Amino acid sequence: MKGNSMLVKGRFLPLLVWIAGLLIVWEALSWVLLNVAHTPLAQSKLPYVHELIATLFQYGGTLLKEGAATFGNAAVGFLLGAAAGVLLAVLMSVSKTIEQLTFPYAVASQMIPILGLAPIIYGIVRDEQISRIIISGYITFFPVSLNMLRGLRSVDLSALELMHSYAAKPWAVYTKLRLPAALPGLFSGLKIAAPLAVTGAILVELMGAQHGIGVIMLRNLYYGPSHTYMFWSTIIIGAFLGMASYGLMSLIERLVSPWQPEFRPKGGGR
């Protein structure tokens, strides 16, 4: 009853309308390309939605199994990269020297194209699982450290002075003031990095791995038009994994920091 009430109030109704409209337009354009415009390889360019749904149901077990392999490795790399990013951000907030020594190199590391780095890592490690974890962690590290550092430094100066007036220990300042204040920044970085970590894992799988949604994607791309629907199904599963990772981070943020204005029923101040 509560779910129906939310739907009636229009919280999810606009989203459902948009999705339904998009699918109808997609189906109509696919029909036009195939039957009116007679576009060569029309189904490869824009396949029928109902055929895609049928393929997803038919090969759902395989897609879920390979998607789980991709998501699992991306999650491990994401957690390791996030932990490293948080640790570096805390160290940089403590010491200017550490920031001057590490931050320029952290920025420089992001100048390396991930498309070129992935085959290098895979060629050195020669292990698809470890390679996916490394690339996912590498992608996660920088946005998390940057946003976490910004959050740590967003503390209200009057609150900081109050803590100092009570002779609070540095540990107390961090646990009771800086870290809670940094949570919005931290989750901003995590929400940016989570879908990217999945993309990084898929990219490694395209280099010649044995398992993962990227492997199925590459194989069906080679087979050409005869495997169009399976190829598009892997793209949909990959997109779903990215959206699921973002949604998971949003859910955790809501549970960990429910005091943020956007999570209160009416928003606004405290």
Residue % of the chain over a pLDDT of 90: 47
Domain range annotation of the chain: 47-262
Helix/strand/coil percentages in the chain, nearest 5: 85, 0, 15
Angle between helices 228-256 and 60-94 (to 10 degrees): 40
CA dihedral angle for residue 88, residue 89, residue 92, residue 93, rounded to 10 degrees:
-150
- pLDDT, position 5: 56
Per-chain mean pLDDT for the chain = 87
- Distance in angstroms (rounded) separating the CA atoms of residues 212 and 69: 5
Using an 8 Å Cβ cutoff, are 248 and 191 in contact?
no
Residue-wise pLDDT for 42-95, tens only, equals 888 889 999 999 999 999 999 999 999 999 999 999 999 999 999 999 999 998
Tens of pLDDT, residue by residue over 142-173, are: 999 999 999 998 888 888 888 888 888 888 88
47-262: in CATH 1.10.3720.10: yes
Asked whether 121 and 204 are in contact (CB, 8 A), the reply is yes
Q: Which residue pairs from 53-59 have beta carbons closer than 8 angstroms and sit at least 24 positions apart in sequence?
A: 54/229, 55/229, 55/230, 55/232, 55/233, 56/233, 56/236, 56/237, 59/230, 59/233
Torsion of CA 250, 256, 261, 266, to 10 degrees: 90
Place of tokens 């789980």: 68
Confidence band for 269, pLDDT divided at 50, 70 and 90: very low
Return the exposure string of 116-142: e unless at least 16 CB atoms fall within 10 Å of the residue's CB, then b: ebbeebbeebeebbbbbbbbbbbbbbb
Q: Enter the tokens of residue 96.
A: 């200017």
- 103 CB neighbour count, 10 Å cutoff: 16
Q: pTM here?
A: 0.85
- Residue 79, CA atoms < 13 Å, CB-side half-sphere: 5
The alpha carbon torsion through 160, 163, 164, 170 (nearest 10 deg) reads: -90
